[in-house]
Amino acid sequence: MTFRSGFVSFIGRPNVGKSTLTNALVGEKIAIVSDRPQTTRRLIRGIVHREAGQIVILDTPGMHKPKTLLGERLNELVLGSLSEVDLIGICIPANEPIGTGDKFILQQVLQVNQNVFLVVTKTDAANPAQIAERITQATELEAELNFSWKFVVPVSPVDKTNLPELEVEILNALPEGPALYPDGQLSDQPERELVAEFIREAALQDLREELPHSVTVIVEEMNLRENRDGMKPLMDIFADIHVERDSQKAIVIGKRGAQLRAIGTQSRVRIEKLLGMRVHLNLHVRVSQNWQSDPKQLGKLGF
């Protein structure tokens, strides 16, 4: 049997279902999910192991018209990765018409890599007529922009519709080659980054509209607690939640610390599953004034 392997990027506007699709294909949660724009801020590599091959997925930040230096850097991060992958999946939701933003992203992608395929996402939220309309619109783009989709697959990670078909199409389009990662490895993200992302995901769930863009998380320390002879291992984690203003800090902490405790409780469950051990999570909220537009602070925060 021919074994195939390679890198695939999922690209699209914010909140079109790229991270949900990545998690569904990998079979484990390796990318955080939220209905807030700009949820994904890193290149997340998820690894799909199949008998016929190995797919390494790059889940990318949603491309958008940037309003901050952070936004500019996220767009640059996405575009800079495109020439290095074997295939690019353009993600467009079935329940929304293809718009100028989708067309702009496709034009940007085609300048550096024409190995593109279309994933019509969120088919569970659309009717058959809407799905057919998206595919028709996508076909019209081929003539307008003078390119050809490698293949087109409508999918729903929610009810698993067409996920096996998407895997087969991707594998058939990848080059022959050996496995790129050991069997069983689902991501190459450092544990510290995944922990920070799980904390940010919990923070995003209940925060007001103006806050999500302003929140980022840095894990300062992860230490296995010593002197626990005969007891189960325990990981002490110290993390800072950064916001841009004092008023935002008050919101994240909440009345008598209720919101911060909820963030800790929700994220701890996911972190303990990731690490396979009990966790003591110590969270602090810090104000980093206008960090999204400050080059020095962006550097310190890993952007």
Residue 84 has pLDDT above 70, yes or no: yes
- Domain ranges within the chain, ordered by starting residue: 4-173, 191-300
Does domain 4-173 sit in CATH 3.40.50.300?
A: yes
Residue 272: per-residue pLDDT: 93
Q: pLDDT tens digits for 211-248?
A: 656 788 999 999 988 887 778 889 999 999 998 889 88
Instruction: Report the alpha-carbon distance of residue 53 to residue 48 in Å, rounded.
Output: 8
Task: Decide which of 207 and 195 is more confident.
Answer: 195
Contacts by 133-142, CB closer than 8 A, 24 or more apart: 133/97, 134/92, 134/94, 134/97, 134/98, 137/97, 137/98, 138/92, 138/98, 141/98, 141/103, 141/106
pTM, entire model: 0.70
**Mean per-residue pLDDT, 58-80:** 68
**Mean per-residue pLDDT, 252-279:** 91
DSSP per residue, 90-136:
EEEETTS---HHHHHHHHHHHTT---EEEEEE-GGGS-HHHHHHHHH
Residue 3: per-residue pLDDT: 95
Contacts of residue 83, Cβ cutoff 8 Å, sequence gap at least 6: 112, 113
* H-only helix segments in the chain: 18-26, 69-82, 100-110, 128-145, 163-173, 191-205, 246-253, 258-275, 295-300
Question: What is the residue type of 97?
Answer: P
Measured CA angle at 84 (ends 79, 86), to 5 deg = 110
Q: What is the CATH number of domain 191-300?
A: 3.30.300.20
Residue 35: per-residue pLDDT: 47
